[in-house]
Structure 1
Amino acid sequence: MAELRTPRQKLSALIITYNEVGYIERCIESISFADEILVVDSFSTDGTYEYLMEHPKVRVIQNPFENFTAQKSYALGQATHDWILFVDADEVVTPNLEKEIVQTISNPDACEAYWFYRKFMFQNEPLHFSGWQTDKNHRLFRKSKAKFTDKKIVHETLEVDGSSCVLKEKLIHYCYKDYEDYKGKMLRYGQLKAKEAFYKEKHFNYLLMLIKPAWKFFYHYIIRLGILDGKKGIIISYLNALGVLERFRELKRLEKKNELTYYLVMP
């Protein structure tokens, strides 16, 4: 008697983009096994949108970028299928990870969501330490059982109605393209984190502006063994600390702007 197989569940692969030419191509190729590839682009200027428009397997929508949580929630709302694979444009699904994903979503006893560990790449070389060795994110989940919380606008957090498990295979993350790109990314994160803090009515503090960036560097370079990554560890640790410094600078700017607005509208 032939063995009955559980039919494979359909999968929507989602990406949000802004100026990702040179990386998005490799990402799209690695997720071509998905039944739907949906990209939400925040008006790229480097040809990303045009490339996606011409790709036969991609459905692309442009939407203004407010913050990461809002953009990912918007993308999630456009997905056709219940099983969601959410990747960044600079991430790559390996053949072994693809196989594990397909097996997982075909399992009737699957969890509602899955954490992925990531292997970080500094340009094309592995970054073994520097704080990222235990990094993991929700990347695979059921749309009907999860949503992005609006409590965070930078490192978006998935709220899962049910259980979360961990996949064995790692997602490859090309986090560091070049110095200016990573620096820009850290500065943008810092600015968004400042807005998050401002909305929560946290206040600028000169002492914390001195202590927190120094601690960030020490944490990544010494405690999280960035020193073992050599020059790469120094660069990553410094730029992460710079992002924290920018968070305080931006919080100070937001408070000054708020004070000025208050005085201007006073009768």
Structure 2
Amino acid sequence: MPKLSTPKQKISALIITYNEMGYIEKCIDSVSFADEILVVDSYSTDGTYEYLLEHPKVRVIQNPFENFTAQKSFTLKQAKNDWVLFLDADEVVTEKLQKEITSTINNPEACEAYWFYRKFMFQNKPLNFSGWQTDKNHRLFRKSKVCFTDKKLVHETLEVDGKSCILKEKLTHYCYKNYEDYKGKMLKYGQLKAKEDFYKEKHFNYVLMTVKPIWKFFNHYVLRLGFLDGKKGITICYLNALGVLERFRELKRLEKKNELAYYLVMP
């Protein structure tokens, strides 16, 4: 009898967005090989939602943004297929990576989840150092075997029921469009990290607010060779350190707000 061929595995490409024009177009084009492209938009105001709504290959849903973990957990639940490729709107899948993804999910011995190393781009030019050279993230996984931990609001972490492996090809990450855009991202991340700290009952500390941003810059610029990236390295390392500073500023604001609320309800 002829040997029955294994059915081709289907895959859903998932993306969350908020004001991503200038990024999202490349991202969508790079996942056109997926059987489903699902985007969850948190009420963009720059035309992102309208662009996605008109795209023939995209299914778009709007959902209010609470934090990254909550938004990604919501998005994951909407996927139609078990295999999921979860991207940020500023990430692009190269042709070589597309082929590796396709062959991987159709391998009977595939792992439950895969890490991707990323190639960082600074205004279309490679950023080779500045702390990012060992950066990797879970991006490809089986929906039925994972969940996002609720312990983090930003830099969300995947919990995998099974084995994680690493793909060879890198994911291209257009991390830096312009100064104000990247600065806004770092400040937002810092504020969400402060909320994490606040919920964990960590307290504001002036010493840490001084030391940690300095250490962040020194670590990424000197120890992680950011100086080899030239002016790009200075900019990225400074803004990353600014995000750490914002984390402590926001934690201080949250503590003061909490104290004020406490005194207002006291008899």
Q: State the TM bucket, normalised to the shorter chain.
A: over 0.9
1:25 and 2:25 matched: yes
Residue 16 of structure 2 aligns to a residue whose secondary structure is strand
CA distance in 1, matches of 2:119, 2:8: 27
Residue 33 of structure 1 aligns to a residue whose secondary structure is coil
CA distance in 1, matches of 2:164, 2:8: 20
CA contact (8 A) 1:112 1:142 kept: yes
Unpaired segments ≥5 residues, structure 2: none
CA contact (8 A) 1:15 1:39 kept: yes
RMSD across aligned C-alpha pairs, in angstroms? 1.0
CA distance in 1, matches of 2:4, 2:33: 23
Alpha-carbon distance, 1:203 to partner: 0.1
CA contact (8 A) 1:193 1:247 kept: yes
CA contact (8 A) 1:129 1:226 kept: yes
Alpha-carbon distance, 1:7 to partner: 2.6
Residue 239 of structure 1 aligns to a residue whose secondary structure is helix
Question: What residue is the counterpart of 2:47 in the other structure?
Answer: 47
- Using the size of structure 1 for normalisation, the TM-score is 0.99
Question: What residue is the counterpart of 1:38 in the other structure?
Answer: 38
CA contact (8 A) 1:198 1:254 kept: yes
Amino acid at match of 2:209: M
Question: What residue is the counterpart of 2:151 in the other structure?
Answer: 151
1:95 and 2:83 matched: no
CA distance in 2, matches of 1:101, 1:73: 22
Question: What residue is the counterpart of 1:254 in the other structure?
Answer: 254
1:70 and 2:70 matched: yes
CA distance in 2, matches of 1:186, 1:26: 22
Amino acid at match of 2:184: G
| Paired residues for 1:152-191 under 5 Å | 152-191=152-191
Question: What residue is the counterpart of 1:216 in the other structure?
Answer: 216
Residue 87 of structure 1 aligns to a residue whose secondary structure is strand
1:84 and 2:74 matched: no
1:196 and 2:201 matched: no
Amino acid at match of 2:63: N
Unpaired segments ≥5 residues, structure 1: none
Question: What residue is the counterpart of 2:105 in the other structure?
Answer: 105
Alpha-carbon distance, 1:2 to partner: 7.4
CA contact (8 A) 1:6 1:107 kept: no
Question: What residue is the counterpart of 1:235 in the other structure?
Answer: 235
- Using the size of structure 2 for normalisation, the TM-score is 0.99
Alpha-carbon distance, 1:3 to partner: 7.3
1:128 and 2:128 matched: yes
Alpha-carbon distance, 1:22 to partner: 1.1
Alpha-carbon distance, 1:6 to partner: 3.0
Alpha-carbon distance, 1:4 to partner: 5.7
Alpha-carbon distance, 1:8 to partner: 1.8
Moved over 2 A (4+): 1-7
CA contact (8 A) 1:40 1:62 kept: yes
Aligned residues: 267
